[in-house]
Structure 1
């Protein structure tokens, strides 16, 4: 695929094209809808065109296309490009990506056929926790234009979508991103379905709005890798279970489909029961209103045509799985008959890490795989049960992701969707892209949850993370209106009310309370160990929400300053200072304890800069004491876990940070790996001898990987970079060895070049090698406390006595 140069260019290219929908007089039930084939024809004589129209010498034939749904494009039966799930997932009411392909080499003299295989996708397929269908509309649709584009001059249309296109049901008899895909290969090919109907001109009012068409900017989803089976078993008659040894997002490719009419069913999941059969209860959601358990989905089916060489590969769905249970196969399934195909957005790897302890290397790999499983068009929470772009998950993980991969365009696209779906009052929905758009959905829980602290703060914290890592000033400026809207909403909410319990206990409102955000619904720390989730709008989560209001207001002030808006920077800086003072007045006692004793609250107090400098150490010591009192077990949940180890290390408790990093009991990261995790789990105790619960691929706890880069290896980017220091213009190399490690190394490919740090402890010496690219200034902080400032480009070596560490 080639990039569309501008929105104006694609608008012009598609000017004469009409939105068309499949002929579908009686739509199937949601989750059971087939994919349809839409086809148009045109005559092509490339040689004659070039001879007759010299101005078009050097011209190329191109296709511009997009859809309500997901589509595959074919020219004369040959698939165009290698992208999957086009046009991707975005806030379709505001932003719909358009793809462009050069197809000259696929054309033939005479009649040519352009066809699209179109299915529900995210547009009208079942989606999210409760598997609601028709989120963006009730009919799929397709828009395309084939143009001859000369090297100079105006393009000439060869074919555009209209009611002269044909519509047929396809061999894909069922296609849903959540439920799975069914294929009858006996129906494959245009002629197999009988006489076609005319395509239907779409009547969806959304199609009339062409201002929402945008050039494809997010990294394309592709087939990235293939995995062979790690183990194949036959736990029952006619049942084969394939273990690929790794939890992934994607699908399988199956060969040897058997005689014509053979029906093979493939069920996907993350775990097996004691009998070796697929277990799916851990990824089943429920209906909030009735509490009825919903099907797990992820079921594919193929009916063979009996042709030699046929292959089943479902490209109109994806699954989160490690295991596939195959039923009905005509014969034994061998290792050469099936492959797992890893599917996700194509992101350039930027980070590498290795340490002397293989457990840390395994942890890094597990985090990496977990992110890969959740980077499919948008950053998702899990690839099986929900596959939704939860704001809190990306807020927690964005900094870590930017170490592992180049996520600039990926994240910027998602932030654009967040801004599009932000409510008029500034609150942010929990899920982006949001099928309900920029207002209430009608679901009581979803509407109540919109605006939760820590989740909605993604509007501010994610763009700032991208600014720190990549330094795109235009992207930061583009995000500012959304950032302001969120902070203004949170500040108004804080000023507008008091929590009923606070008002009852203290009838006279104190001046600082106008900066306490203690009303409305908030998830709070969420999923703390041994604390069942209980979303309750009556609970006072002010200690969490006010902390996030401070952090976002302070961050917004920095962003305003970075784009040259000093007055706004001063205003939001003043707000942040007032919120900080209010938080301290309400929650920080004179003896430096917090009014709510929980590890997560102490982590935020330190990590967000809420505690006055002269009181930081006793607060940090209290955090350490709480961890010790808990049996040296972490007690943080969703929001604070990624901040825990850096906070401890920076506050003089490096040994404790390493103890938690290397802990093997539950809750712990390595405890997951001991129990067989190949991706991060939603619950700390996702797999125990008593059973399996929750998603086994939720990357949020994997934010711990940042600590491997910033503290174990020691590559640090300033939290609030000075002008010119963003995007690693200035970097600190400050390794903090511990945990019995004898060596560690990391590198990050930045916009300015590769920054690297590698150290070893050997022969009584600590030796550090730092690699600094041109245009970057580094400060080297050695573990004995010595520092070297103003270090420029090159490879630099340092050594101190290990006894001094």
Structure 2
């Protein structure tokens, strides 16, 4: 728009479906402005009206006039004191199938008399013939599945989405994809078809490789709606007329990989004219989940797509006769391989690291059976038997892998870089933020952190793209502020939070990841088993902290309204655990509990800091995690009190303010000494205490000095794990230790971020010693958590910061601060961020004579406080400003 205004449009970039809230328009305008909102249903006239400035409205569907599949257009017209703007270009959205009754299709299962072993089950082909009786004006396909599906219409693949319908808490939330298939239809004979495989629904998932998590059978639901030029309507859906057979994909599993026998391929199977003699009837499925059409909805997140292709940097023949393909970059996705003309089987093993002989190793990626302690296979193996025809290509689309290297065994002839392509697959997030500076090491660190997030944003935020691929709550809790500086993760996060809420137990407990195949049924396991894995502080607190950080980044108050019930149940659960449980070590030291222990959370299961350097990785199972858990109970209670105030739940706000005060007193009584020293005396304890406001003002200087001393005692090396690392450098910088923060950031030698660069990392490691000094790999080499350090580059080095405790007038960067803190020998730094109001920018440089220049861009409708390194402060309104 051509006026100095900002306009935010929510929910207009996805097809609307059941349970998707109506679109909301919100704006910020100069004083004296007015807005006219106009919308219309189909070809009807415009319905419009003026509203006051600084407001937002829900766009009506049009009541009974709006039916499933109809199109709604909207326009916004703005008046300012300077005169009337031009009309914005028309935008539109389209209603999907809004009600269960809109579905005439029925679920179908492929014919499968004897399901195979998990990880070895074939994909199925499904097809139905029909006639298109008249010229096509408009056509839409609505589809979803229990499993992973690819749709085809008249022999052509529908759309460009991957791994549909995605990974959700399928029992409560199942996403429907809507496709414009008008161009794929002509009058006459037609075929609607699909490939269906196990996917997350019944495939092997997670660290334990558990199968059949959501059910024992795959199924497809699809409905094709064709509007004809003569005004008639044709609807074709899944029903008992569909046929099925097994595909040339003889095994398909997200963890184990795919097996293709191209000799079994059926050319033309999804097109008219194919002879399907010998195919079996698909079975209509009823009851249980099949009867619940109310769980069908549209996803608020962008879809998964192929977002990039990478040519290998090298293909090396190995002494064994195999070939090693090196992409030069650790990715999530698959390898496309041009097949040699041969009859023998090729095996593709994907991994992240090489052994001492220069061959691929996957030993470090093997999971552990938690119950037996046995190691599990690493998986990520694809096999293909070529048909022997010239020009064949192998590309598995029903699995993904986390890998940089691929060992190809069985090729009859030599392979070159021209034969292989790395196909990057992840959620197609919109890039919104960038950073660069004068130190190429920091630019490289930023780059590998971005790649690590990309590798773990595959429909859900995962911990790693190879060994587990689970939506671990603690990982996303600590990384979401960083992710929001890089990409638009609003819808992506809301999708995940809805699954987290769906899987919450009756008592408010949350498991460690979402979606959880066990769902709420896991709460009925024996108590001694639950205490080994569920309800961990830090991880469960994601249900409070993630929505809050999203509100800070995007200013969406509706999000706090939606997820506040989940937050309340979690905080009540944690408070109850504090009241009723005590750690055995504390019981032994103090058999009679002190009064403050009523608010001390030290019982139950907790992961603790996780992956602290030099700490036994099994210590968390018996360690007293009271300092961590009580800190998070305080943090969540404080945030819930603030959130309740913002949502108008004032009694709850007072209640949780009171709870937070008691928890704070308990933490200080148990872990804080009169001189500002803390117990346990770890870097993580000090960082968390200062970041969460656990230390009173008069002791903060002493506590921060002790933190600095601990770091120097460790040889100026980082000593934090998962939870505290994102706060480490900001805490140091904000408490008078900026030089030490830069020293830690740029420190060589293990453990450090620079060690990752020195040892060739292209993504962030799970452990600080992911590749040790002898080149041996350990655990996942693609875990984004420790990459949260790059938020420091955006918020402190370049200095672009959101408001810590925003209200409706400041959230979403409507008010923000630019306060760059140069250091580390840098002479230049810049960050940009596409906020809901426009692009904000902070860029500074130091001249050869030491002069400092800062350029700040403030988007329309926002204000910024600008603080220079010498302490001078300025108030900046919209526009670009230069300070010297």
Which range, TM-score by smaller chain? over 0.9
Q: How does 1:494-573 map to 2 (within 5 A)?
A: 494-534=578-618, 536-573=620-657
User: Following TM superposition, by how much is the alpha carbon of 1:315 offset from its aligned partner in structure 2, in angstroms?
Assistant: 0.3
Cα distance per residue 1:187-213 (max 9 Å; x no partner): 222369861000012256211111111
Distance 2:839 2:712 in 1: 39
Contact 2:14/2:299 (8 A) holds in 1? no
* 2:156 corresponds to: 78
Contact 1:2 1:102 in 2 (8 A): no
- Alignment of 1:184 with 2:267, yes or no, is no
> Take 2:161 and 2:400, find their aligned partners in 1: how far apart are those partners?
14
* 1:705 counterpart residue number: 790
* 2:531–2:604 contact (8 Å) kept in structure 1: no
Displacement of 1:291 after TM fit? Answer: 1.7
1:187 and 1:193 in contact (8 A); partners too: no
- The aligned residue for residue 460 of structure 1 is 544
**Where does residue 736 of structure 1 map in the other structure?**
821
Q: In the alignment, what sits opposite 1:61?
A: 139
Distance in 1 (alpha carbons) for counterparts of 2:517 and 2:731 = 37
Residue number in structure 2 paired with 1:124: 202
Paired residue secondary structure (2:393): coil
TM-score scaled to structure 2, two decimals? 0.87
| Gaps in structure 2 of 5+ consecutive residues | 1-12, 20-67, 69-96
Matches of 2:230 and 2:739, distance apart in 1? 66
Q: 2:328 aligns with which of 229, 245, 249?
A: 245
Q: Report how far residue 497 of structure 1 moved.
A: 2.6
| Residue aligning to 1:55 | none
**Is 2:679–2:685's contact at 8 Å kept on the other side of the alignment?**
no
Q: Structure 1 581/494 Cα, relative in aligned 2: closer, same or farther at 3 Å?
A: same
* CA contact 1:235–1:275 (8 Å) conserved in 2: no
Residue aligned with 1:463, SS: helix
| Cα displacement string for residues 693-713 of structure 1 (whole angstroms, at most 9, x for unaligned residues) | 100000000110100000000
1:617 matched to 2:701 = yes
- Tell me how far apart the structure 2 counterparts of residues 386 and 529 of structure 1 sit (CA, whole Å): 22
- The residue aligned with 2:134 is 46
Residue 11 of structure 1: how far off its partner (Å): 3.6
What are the superposed Cα offsets for residues 373-411 of structure 1, whole Å, 9 maximum, x if unpaired?
Answer: 000000000000000000010001000000000000000
**For 1:210 and 1:12, how far apart are their aligned partners in 2?**
5
Matches of 2:809 and 2:407, distance apart in 1: 54
The equivalences for 1:623-642 within 5 A come to 623-642=707-726
The residue aligned with 1:257 is 340
Tell me which residue corresponds to 1:15.
Answer: 103
Task: Indicate the SS of the match to 2:408.
Answer: strand
The answer as to whether partners of 1:554 and 1:576 remain within 8 angstroms in 2 is yes
Deviations 1:231-272 (A, max 9, x none): 11011242000100000000011113323x232111100011
1:567-586 matched pairs, under 5 angstroms: 567-586=651-670
Report the secondary structure of 2:582's partner residue.
Answer: coil
2:235 to 137, 155, 158: 158
Q: Compared with structure 1, are the counterparts of its residues 204 and 128 closer, same or farther at alpha carbon in structure 2 (3 Å cutoff)?
A: farther
Displacement of 1:343 in angstroms is: 0.3
- Matched-pair contact (CA < 8 Å) for 2:833–2:841: yes
Deviation of 1:557 (Å)? 1.3
How far off is 1:536 after superposition?
4.8
Q: d(CA) in 2 for partners of 1:498 and 1:3?
A: 50
Aligned with residue 389 of structure 1, among 465, 471, 480: 471
Match of 1:655 among 710, 730, 739: 739
Give, in angstroms, the shift of residue 532 of structure 1. Answer: 2.3
CA contact (8 A) 2:434 2:833 kept: yes
Q: Distance in 1 between matches of 2:601 and 2:422?
A: 47
Match of 1:284 in 2: 366
Corresponding position: 1:4 with 2:16: yes
Q: 1:507 to 1:677 in 2, by over 3 A?
A: same
Which structure 2 residues correspond to residues 187-336 of structure 1 after superposition, within 5 A?
A: 187-189=264-266, 190=269, 195-203=278-286, 205-259=288-342, 261-336=343-418
Q: Is residue 554–residue 811 contact of structure 2 (8 Å, CA) maintained in 1?
A: yes
Q: Residue 785 of structure 1 corresponds to which residue in structure 2?
A: 871
2:761 corresponds, among 669, 677, 685, to 677
The whole-number CA distance in structure 1 between the counterparts of 2:538 and 2:641 is 18
1:263–1:302 CA contact under 8 A, matched in 2: yes
Instruction: Point out where structure 1 has 5 or more consecutive residues left out of the alignment.
Output: 51-58, 800-805
Greater mean alpha carbon deviation, residues 281-290 or residues 347-356: 281-290
Cα distance between partner residues in 1 of 2:635 and 2:844: 34
Q: Does 1:26 align with 2:110?
A: no
Aligned to 1:438, what secondary structure does the other structure show?
A: helix
Alignment check: 8 A CA contact 2:675 2:699 kept: no
Distance 1:746 1:525 in 2: 30
Residue 532 of structure 2 aligns to a residue whose secondary structure is helix
Deviations 1:746-766 (A, max 9, x none): 011110111110111112211
SS of the residue 1:290 aligns to: coil
Q: Secondary structure at the match of 1:241?
A: strand
| Cα distance change of structure 1 residues 222 and 446 upon mapping to structure 2, 3 Å threshold | farther
Q: Which residue of 2 aligns with 1:644?
A: 728
CA distance in 2, matches of 1:339, 1:753: 36
Report the 3-state secondary structure (helix = DSSP H, G, I; strand = E; otherwise coil) of the residue aligned with 1:412. helix
Residue by residue over 1:317-369, the C-alpha shift from the partner in whole angstroms, topping out at 9 and shown as x without a partner, is: 00000000001112111111110000000000011100100000000001000
Compared CA separation, residues 569 and 453, structure 1 to 2 (3 A)? same
- Of the three residues 567, 574, 594, the one matched with 2:678 is 594
1:776 to 847, 862, 866: 862
Cα displacement (A) at 1:508: 3.6
Distance 1:150 1:702, change over 3 A: farther
Aligned position for 1:91: 169
| CA distance in structure 2 between the aligned counterparts of 1:491 and 1:212, rounded to whole angstroms | 32
**How far apart, in 2, do the equivalents of 1:584 and 1:114 lie?**
65
Counterpart of 1:561 in 2: which secondary structure? Answer: helix
How far has the Cα of 1:566 moved from its partner?
A: 2.3
How many Å apart are 1:724 and its aligned residue? 1.1
Q: How far, CA to CA, are the matches of 1:120 and 1:497 in structure 2?
A: 41
Question: What are the Cα deviations for residues 160-180 of structure 1, in whole angstroms up to 9, with x where unaligned?
Answer: 111110011011111000000
Looking at structure 2, the residues matched to 293 and 201 of structure 1 have their Cα atoms a distance apart, in angstroms, of 40
Distance 2:130 2:228 in 1: 18
Q: Secondary structure at the match of 2:645?
A: helix
Distance 2:669 2:276 in 1: 72
